[in-house]
Amino acid sequence: MRKIIGLIFILCFTVCVCNARESTQPNTFKVIIYHDTPKDVNLDDFAVDRVAFVQQIEYLRAHGYNFISFEDILKANKGEIILPEKAVLLRSDDAYLSFYEFVYPVLKLYGYPSLLGVVTNWVELGQTYTQAPLMNWEQLQEVANSGLVEIASHSHNLHNDIPSNPQGNTAWAAVTLEYYPDTQTYETEEHYRQRIYEDLLLSRNILREKLGVNARAIIWPYGEYSQASVEEAKKAGFEATFDTTDKLASIDNLDIVHGSFVMRNPTIEEFIENLKRNFSIPMKRRIMQADLDLLYDTDPVQQTHNIDKFIERAFSMKVNTVYLQAFCDDEGDGAISSVYFHNRVLPVRADLFNHVANQLSIRGIRVYAWMPMLSIVLPDEKENERLRVMQFRDGEITLSDSWYPRLSPFSAEARQKLIMLYEDLSAANPRLDGVVFQDDGYLNDFEDFNPAALAQYLEISGGEDIPYQELNEEQKQRWTKLKTETLIELTEELKEAFLHYNPFTKSVRILYAPVLTEPESEEWFAQNYADSLKAYDYVLIMAYPKMEEVKNSTKWLQKLVQKAKEYPDGIQKTIFKVQTYDWKRKKWINSRIVDRWLRTLVSSGAQHIAYYPDNCIDNKPDEKIIRLMMSSEDFPFKRE
């Protein structure tokens, strides 16, 4: 204890002082997460040394942060107390011995409360996945009796990877439907729920038996959870669950209490900077949109070679995000009749998406599933025709002849098919960072006259079965706005289905360029840029100079960026994607031209850029030429 007091005495004079005023939003608090706190940090990214820990506590003390307990949070949630401004909850995961030897004495010295996550199976076995020693039950009993430390469950045995696909990849047990190689089947949701419930209940019972505590919080292993796991946690008796999302936590939502890791043993200056940014570093997206169709091959050896080449290219180029095709469109006609993941709606061409996504993720690349909004072709031909988008042309209502064969967003039956597809994709891929809604989410001015939409159309037209062109301007605006809203409502349902297993998922909606530059084009597409900024985490603009046949690509791209700047959060939430292939002329675009387009966008103020398509087999576009613009590294040059 004397050494600890001496260390604090010295460090309290060396903590960086900042005069900037800091505050937090009402009803919010910050959860700061620690793991091991050794004397010296070697290769553990999650460890913080003891000098750094005391510096951080001293900074918080000196700058008006108020240390709260888990009990304070529960009371504030019930309206019994009001949390102080700049409230902070200290959280330590895994119950390392260093908590007992160092962190706990510091807490006692200051009188500061803490939340400690215990993996009951690890304590019983006396081992973890690191070399750092753990606390034993006697030491845990002592801190539990102190009145300062709230014991939380960190699961019993969910800190495991389990098989997640036929290729042998693994994923976290708390959020993954297990794949059974012997039967070539996936775990059912019912069995998954039971497995999670039994583990959480067991951990709670062990903590009660060993320590006499009634654990009220569950800290999710690796910070990963699903909607189903949260529901099972409630059934097991937990009042709150904790993740590792770098956001402020709110007393209004104890289902998921956000927290921020202190990682890589930061200097005090780095800690302060991260604290002020709420431990969230704004990211400029550098995105490769890629086709699985290019990687798929009936020859498994060739397919493995293709995948390896693609993974190596994405990693070498240092993009931070890949929009990965989850469906098959090898004919290039937009008629999606099969996909690359296990599901209940469409045939599976190959259970390939999870494998490729996994290989990207473990290399630190964010993976978004690129999915159709409407353009799926159901196996039952009659059912497919009945649910399709219809058009009213030349006095006749027929199947739409537009370039995408789509299901009607007005049809509840069609929506359910799409929801099932998104649910199954999410269940099979619980580590995805986002979902991208394809550009098939449109309705032109002759659409949609599917029977499911006619009642609403007749209400607008005054009961007359007339083509859209004969409506008056007010009626046209109402019908156009209804179609726009219906498409957005559909994506809300699809997002909700996806969030069941991927609660961290971001959403991206692809829009055509005229939607940004010519708001009146909403009539042609039923797409609205301003509405999309509100509805999605990101909006992706197809900045395709060749496809739009612009005469001066530089001025046109500059105009796109300038228009986005006119909207609140326009630049922050807009991705500009350039084309690398000229579909009209059926040839690849010179890579130097692509590079010039990317440079134009960035120099004009674009924060997020992307390109499509990518051909890793033939190095199109040329990696050496576009790497500087696409790299997410702060300084991408390497000294030879």
For 275-323, the pLDDT digits (tens) are: 876 644 457 899 999 999 999 999 999 999 999 999 999 999 999 999 9
Please determine, looking at this structure, whether the domain spanning 2-12+38-276 carries the CATH number 3.20.20.370: yes
- Return d(Cα 39, Cα 263) in angstroms, integer: 15
Provide the mean pLDDT of the chain: 92
Q: Which of 390, 470, 405, 463 is nearest to 438 (CA)?
A: 405
Find out if CATH 3.40.630.30 is the number for domain 286-630: no
How many CB atoms are located within 10 Å of the residue 2 CB? 6
On whether the CB atoms of residues 90 and 148 are closer than 8 A, the answer is no
Tell me: the pLDDT tens digits for 534-581? 999 999 999 999 999 999 999 999 999 999 999 999 999 999 999 999
The yes-or-no verdict on residue 6 having pLDDT over 60 is: no
Query: Model confidence over 465-474: pLDDT tens digits?
Result: 888 989 999 9
Q: Are the beta carbons of 441 and 491 closer than 8 angstroms?
A: yes
The pLDDT-based confidence of 637 (bands split at 50, 70, 90) is very low
| 542 half-sphere exposure, CB direction, 13 A CA radius | 19
Give the three-class secondary structure for 325.
strand
Q: Report the C-alpha gap between 563 and 559 in whole angstroms.
A: 6
- C-beta of residue 324 within 8 angstroms of C-beta of residue 367: yes
Specify the amino acid at residue 498: F
Backbone φ and ψ of 325, nearest 5°: -60, 125
Q: 315, 186, 361, 306: which is closest to 615 by C-alpha?
A: 306
Range 445-461 average pLDDT: 94
Taking only the tens place, the pLDDT of each residue in 99-141 is 999 999 999 999 999 999 999 999 998 877 677 899 999 999 9
Q: In this structure, are residues 448 and 409 in contact, taking their beta carbons and an 8 Å threshold?
A: yes
Contact (Cβ atoms closer than 8 angstroms) between residue 360 and residue 289:
no
User: Which residues have C-beta within 8 Å of that of residue 325, sequence separation ≥ 6?
Assistant: 290, 291, 292, 293, 340, 370
Residue 479 has pLDDT above 80, yes or no: yes
Q: With contact defined as beta carbons under 8 Å apart, do 453 and 479 qualify?
A: no
Say what the pTM is. 0.84
Report the phi/psi class of residue 209: left, alpha or beta, with left for phi > 0 and alpha for psi in -120 to 50.
alpha
The CA-atom distances, in angstroms, between 594 and each of 409, 539, 607 are 35, 21, 17
CB 319 within 8 A of CB 287: yes
Q: What percent of the chain has pLDDT over 90?
A: 81
Give the residue with greater pLDDT, 634 vs 595.
595
Q: Which of 344, 361, 246, 323 has its CA nearest to residue 507? A: 323
**What's the confidence (pLDDT) of residue 465?**
84
Burial 462-491 (b: 16+ CB within 10 A, else e): eeeeebbeebeeebbebbbbbbbebbbebb
Instruction: Indicate whether 92 pLDDT > 90.
Output: yes
- Residue 55 φ then ψ, to 5°: -60, -40
491-544: pLDDT as tens digits: 999 999 998 888 888 999 999 999 999 999 999 999 999 999 999 999 999 999
Residue 494: the pLDDT is 97
**Cα gap 197→200, rounded to integer Å:** 5
pLDDT at 638 over 60: no
Which residue is associated with the tokens 């409360």? 113
pLDDT value for 275:
83
- Alpha helices of 63-115 — where are they, by DSSP H? 70-77, 97-98, 104-110
Query: Do the first three CATH levels of 2-12+38-276 and 286-630 match, i.e. the same topology?
Result: yes
β-strand pairing of 240-242 with 217-219: parallel
Helix 300-317, helix 623-630: angle, nearest 10: 50
Answer whether 460's CB lies under 8 Å from 475's CB.
yes
Residue 18's pLDDT is 41
Q: What's the pLDDT score for residue 4?
A: 60
- Residues 366-382: pLDDT tens digits? 999 999 999 999 999 99
| Structure confidence by residue, pLDDT tens digits, 407-442 | 999 999 999 999 999 999 999 888 899 999 999 999
Report yes or no: 169 and 220 within 8 Å, Cβ to Cβ.
Answer: no
- Mean predicted confidence (pLDDT) in 623-633: 92
Q: What residues does each domain of the chain span?
A: 2-12+38-276, 286-630
CA distances from 346 to 177, 385, 425, 496 (A): 19, 16, 12, 20
Give the residue ranges of DSSP H helices in 159-299. Answer: 189-211, 227-235, 268-276
Contacts (Cβ under 8 Å, ≥6 apart) of 26: none
- Residue 639's pLDDT band, with cuts at 50, 70 and 90, is very low
Report the Cα–Cα distance between both ends of the chain, in Å, rounded: 50
Give the chain's radius of gyration (CA, Å).
27
Model confidence band, residue 24 (pLDDT cutoffs 50, 70, 90): low
Number of other residues whose CB lies within 10 A of the CB of residue 383:
14
Q: What is the pLDDT of residues 194-253, one digit of tens each?
A: 999 999 999 999 999 999 999 999 999 999 999 999 999 999 999 999 999 888 999 999
